[in-house]
Amino acid sequence: MIGLMHFLVLAGIVFTIGLLGMVLNRNNLIAILMCLELMLLAININFVAIDRYLDLVDGQIMVFFILAIAAAEAAIGLAIFIVLYQRYASIETEKFAQLKG
C-alpha cells in the first residue's frame, strides 16, 4: 500500500530536481521557469498528500491558489521571454546584462 511517506519522498525528489536545475542551469530562462514549475508541483504533492492523510481540504484549497499563481507566472514569464527574444535574438541570461540600470 502506498502511504504518506511515499508521497513525501516523491515530492522531495521532484523538488530537489527542480532546485538542482535552477542552480546548475543559469543560462537558459525557459529551463529556469520549468524548474520553478517542478518546485511548485512538489509543494502541491505535499499539500494533497498531507490533506489526504489527515482527511482535510485546507491544503487542497491552497493547491488551487498555487496553480493560479503558477499559471500567471508562466504567462508573464513567457511574455517576457518573447519580448527579450525579439530584442536580443536569444534567451540566454548572459545577454541581458545590459538591462541593469
Which CATH number covers residue 64? 1.10.287.3510
Would you say 83 and 73 are in contact if contact means Cβ atoms under 8 Å apart?
no
Q: Cell numbers at residue 61, please?
A: 484549497
Task: Give the number of C-alpha atoms closer than 13 A to the C-alpha of residue 7, restricted to the C-beta side.
Answer: 16
pLDDT at 100: 65
| pLDDT computed for residue 24 by the predictor | 92
Query: Mind listing the pLDDT tens digit for each residue in 14-25?
Result: 999 999 999 998
Tally of structural domains, the chain: 1
CA–CA dist 11, 41 (Å, integer): 8
Looking at the whole model, is its pTM more than 0.85?
no
- Segment (H or E) for 36: helix 29-54
Question: Scanning the structure block, which residue is given the C-alpha cell 542552480?
Answer: 23
| Cβ contact 19:35 at 8 Å | yes
* Residues spanned by the domain of 61: 4-99
The model's pLDDT over 17-56, given as tens digits with 9 standing for 90+, comes to 999 999 998 888 888 889 999 999 999 999 999 999 998 8
